[in-house]
Structure 1
Amino acid sequence: MTKPKVLVSDKLSPTAVQIFRDRGIDVDFEPDLGKDKDKLAEVIGQYDGLAIRSATKVTESILRHAGKLRVVGRAGIGTDNVDKDAASKKGVIVMNTPFGNMITTAEHAIAMMFAVARQIPEASASTHAGKWEKSKFMGVELTSKTLGVIGAGNIGGIVCDRARGLKMKVVAYDPFLSEDKAQKMGVEKVELDELLARADFITLHVPLTDTTRNILSAENLAKTRKGVRIINCARGGLVDEEALAEMLKSGHVAGAAFDVFSKEPATENPLFGLPNVVCTPHLGAATTEAQENVALQVAEQMSDYLLTGAVSNALNMPSVTAEEAKVMGPWVKLAGHLGAFIGQMTDEPIKAINILYDGTVAQMNLDALNCAVVAGIMKKANPDVNMVSAPVVAKERGIKISTTNQDKSGAFDGYIKVTVVTEKRERSIAGTVFSDGKPRFIQIKGINIDAEIGAHMLYTTNADVPGIIGTLGQTMGENGVNIANFTLGRSDKGGEAIALLYVDAEVPAPVREKLASTGMFRQIKPLEFDVD
């Protein structure tokens, strides 16, 4: 049997390179090759695996030359330098190492909090300049102060733990944090407005999504208590930097410490040059230990896949065998769509996810299908989550996942039903795969439907009264929104009714506002699905 061959085209540690060799894989270590796209394209056809950091750009053009390539392993979290769509079409797995730099990033946030509390960078610069401005740099203690943590996942959870060790009071805002998990962490779970009003320090640990973008907007910054200090070591774009600069100048915000910025590399920024603002050039993961950890992890993951077929932390492939993939592919897509529907519909913390498999699908690889459901649900809060990491994230959030499988019980040969339990309600949706291989939604909130799934959809609820179809159709038509498919359902005559529209493009907010102004709809929700 021919040995797999791996190219390491970026600077990986010698220990990581040795892991490949020890596992019986041929490896070429060319740490500067990734910077030369022409040379990379020339040689990539020789390799089964490509191990990279951020310098190598795995483009569609590179992949066209990669006739043997089976896996790309990124030592780190971000995979913006990999064309994942092109890789998927090529049949190339893209792996990352999402957990290798958690401690390092959390420690950097704590260090930045100390730095801004005691004005350490300014005091150091002053002393280096031969001044002795002892009275100028009056700081504050962290002990007994209230730390507001926005995002209590992997990194945020470590920050909470370290802050408690510093005898700080910790309050956390995280829609996916359950009360039980918060109690185990020793933190108080609060809504965002309460966190803003109470916190002496605020630190952010959430991904950048449509929901979290500018989560500290001018409006929200105005809700903070006077003298607050703000730390961002998560993602640029979470804070309105212009508004924060104005509040720093006014004295409402006493200080800020930023490792990430809305535009990077950040050669200029509204925060630069302001007193008591500590800035670092995206150093969250920049420690020897973190860089070593992610390098070792990617070498182990790639070796496992190339030698045994085991898949870990893959961003573009279900964790199923080659034999299962052909049959399960449409069901994996359906499972993800069911999860995505509920994830987009649910804003409150999730306590449990219950998944029912009926008929033929109950005999498939339920672990992989569970992962697809959970990943679909979690993607709203964390776009980087994948089928492997999703169950880990759910477990850390205290979410209980249960599975039931049963023999065929209805009109369909097989179907999947997903129910999410929160402190306020239960929400459910069911779907099946038709003989054409296309997933369908067949039930929402116990109401039977038959809905084709599209990239852009609009979901509405209303009382079962005349005029709903006409209002939806007329409003969409008058505003240039084309309806590809229109599905209706109701609980009973005169009871609750739902509509699910598959449209060619996202329904603009002004159009949704026009629908809301009619007073006919209880709920109007745009939905997005990855149908490629």
Structure 2
Amino acid sequence: MYRICCLNNIAKVGTDRLGPGYEFVAEPEGADALLVRSANLHELELGGGLLAIARAGAGVNNIPVERCAESGVVVFNTPGANANAVKELVICGMLLACRDVIGGAAWVAENSDDPEIAKRAEKAKKQFGGFELAGKRVGVVGLGAIGAAVANALIDLGCEVMGYDPYLSINAAWSLDRRIEHVTDLGELLARCDFVTLHVPATDATRHMVGADQIARMPRGAVLLNFARDALVDEQALAEALDDGRVGRYVTDFANPASSNMRNAIVLPHLGASTGEAEDNCAVMAADELRDYLENGNIRNSVNYGQVDLGELAEGNERVALFHENVQGVIGLISAEIAASGLNIENMTNKSRGSNAYTLIEVSGDLTQETCARLAGMPGVRRVRLIERP
């Protein structure tokens, strides 16, 4: 019986996928796996029995990813599950930046008691005029699931689209409309675009990737959109650029003391993935990832270990999962120990990510706890897990 703790409200359509063989517990202590959305886990004590954490969403800045890796705790996320919801809000943000819809709606609300409102509106509407999105050049920074969806949608809306992503995967490239211009220099994109929208994760490398120097390259009056993470932008430099008109509008999904007081900013309360469909998609994907890992040892969409898939574990068979340092010679030692225990390796796969490596082995024969203990005692091995199917 696997014990699962939900640290946030996880959609029932997802938790229902963890049926017989799973028990939901109220506290993380003693849990085998955690399902989480926004709860901050950085101060959480990682129990010795904790096997995995699944984040129902893409960002994992609320999870101590590297500390988990060192303890053999797999951290999953759900890339692409909320992509459509975020894409739609980004397009909405662009339209709000083009047309003063918010100001116009506020004017109507303020004058709702005026019996002559219809006549007055014809005169007042001039102050809320704007421009059309079609025909504008838009730069999309980051072409993952969300960025690619945004870029393709903008092509359909009649925009010229430029994309920048130094880590563009082959699968992501195949999903992009052929009319999207791919550039390899961020400065070039900033200098040529009327709109720039950010879709990259917040890391040490991307922190303040749009600062004073980058803003200075943008055409005067350009619109910047940030539905990724607020740390991507130097907000002090941006506030100054908004004040003097260097940047025409800033549209962001991250309300904080700096952004909420910026001139010419449209600030939303983190609505990007806040749709019922997105929450359902994320919950289902997170639950499926957990189940496949707990029952079969397979890893999909982990942020701290590589992707591994040996398929479904056959009834009566056994697998051993080993978390170890990504150093030379460990695989050979593991194979030799299994052979010395009188077991035959039926299937084996190994993947590394940085300094972290994961090896999944299916064997014929009785894989005893004594063998697992010897494997766990080898140099460089962090954790050993026996997976059995009755």
- Give the TM-score, by structure 1 length: 0.54
2:100 aligns with 119
8 Å CA contact 1:148, 1:196 repeated in 2: yes
Aligned to 1:269: 258
Shift of 1:118: 0.5
Which residue of the partner structure matches residue 172 of structure 1?
163
Q: Which amino acid aligns with 1:283?
A: L
Query: What amino acid is aligned across from residue 196 of structure 2 in structure 1?
Result: I
Shift of 1:156: 1.2
Instruction: Kindly indicate whether residue 278 of structure 2 is the aligned counterpart of residue 297 of structure 1.
Output: no
**Is 1:314–2:307 an aligned residue pair?**
no
**1:77 pairs with 2:58:** yes
Q: Secondary structure at the match of 1:310?
A: coil
Query: Which position in structure 2 is the counterpart of 1:283?
Result: 271
Structure 1 letter corresponding to 2:247? V
Residue 194 of structure 2 aligns with which residue? 200
Residues 333-372 of structure 1 mapped to structure 2, 5 A cutoff: 368-369=350-351, 372=352
Q: 1:210 to 1:113 in 2, by over 3 A?
A: same
Once the two structures are superposed, residues 464-484 of structure 1 have per-residue CA deviations (whole angstroms, 9 ceiling, x without a partner) of xxxxxxxxxxxxxxxxxxxxx
Q: What SS does the aligned partner of 1:294 have?
A: helix
Aligned mates of 2:276, 2:198 — CA distance in 1: 24
**2:142 corresponds to 1:146:** no
User: What amino acid is the match of 1:165?
Assistant: D
Partner of 2:73: 92
- What are the ranges of 5 or more consecutive residues in structure 2 without an aligned counterpart? 112-116, 311-318, 332-344, 359-377, 381-390
* Percent of residue pairs bearing the same amino acid type: 32
Task: Report the AA paired with residue 232 of structure 2.
Answer: L
1:10-21 equivalences in 2 (<5 Å): 10-21=8-19
Shifted more, 138-147 versus 206-215: the winner is 206-215
The answer on 1:236 being equivalent to 2:207 is no
Asked if residue 25 in structure 1 is aligned to residue 21 in structure 2, the reply is yes
- Provide the secondary structure at the position in 1 that maps to 2:298: coil
CA positional deviation for 1:68: 3.6
Q: How does 1:413-428 map to 2 (within 5 A)?
A: none
Verify: 1:189 aligned to 2:182, yes or no.
Answer: yes
Query: Which position in structure 2 is the counterpart of 1:52?
Result: 36
Structure-2 change in CA distance of 1:233 and 1:324 (3 Å): closer
Q: Secondary structure at the match of 2:8?
A: coil
* Structure of higher RCO (CA pairs closer than 8 Å, 6+ residues apart): 2
- Pair 15,326 (structure 1): closer, same or farther in 2 beyond 3 Å: closer
Instruction: Assess if the C-alpha contact under 8 Å between 1:241 and 1:271 holds in 2.
Output: no
Equivalence for 1:223: 217
Contact 1:10 1:52 in 2 (8 A): yes
Looking at structure 2, the residues matched to 327 and 255 of structure 1 have their Cα atoms a distance apart, in angstroms, of: 48
- Distance, in Å, in 2 between the alignment partners of 1:174 and 1:12 is 32
Could you say if the C-alpha distance between residues 26 and 145 of structure 1 is closer, same or farther in structure 2, counting changes exceeding 3 Å?
same
Deviations 1:230-283 (A, max 9, x none): 1111111222222222222222322221113xxxx61x21562524x2111222
Amino acid at match of 2:298: A
Task: Kindly report the root-mean-square deviation, in angstroms, between the aligned alpha carbons of the 2 structures.
Answer: 3.5
Say whether 1:330 aligns with 2:327: yes
TM-aligned CA deviation for residue 79 of structure 1: 3.1
Asked whether the equivalents of residues 72 and 94 of structure 1 are also in contact (C-alpha less than 8 Å), the reply is: yes
Identify if the C-alpha distance between structure 1 residues 85 and 173 changes in structure 2 by more than 3 Å, giving closer, same or farther: closer
Residues 300, 188 of structure 1: alpha-carbon distance in 2 compared, 3 angstrom cutoff: same
Give the SS at the match of 1:98: coil
1:316–1:202 CA distance, 2 compared to 1 (3 A): closer
CA distance in 2 between counterparts of 1:80 and 1:172 reads 25
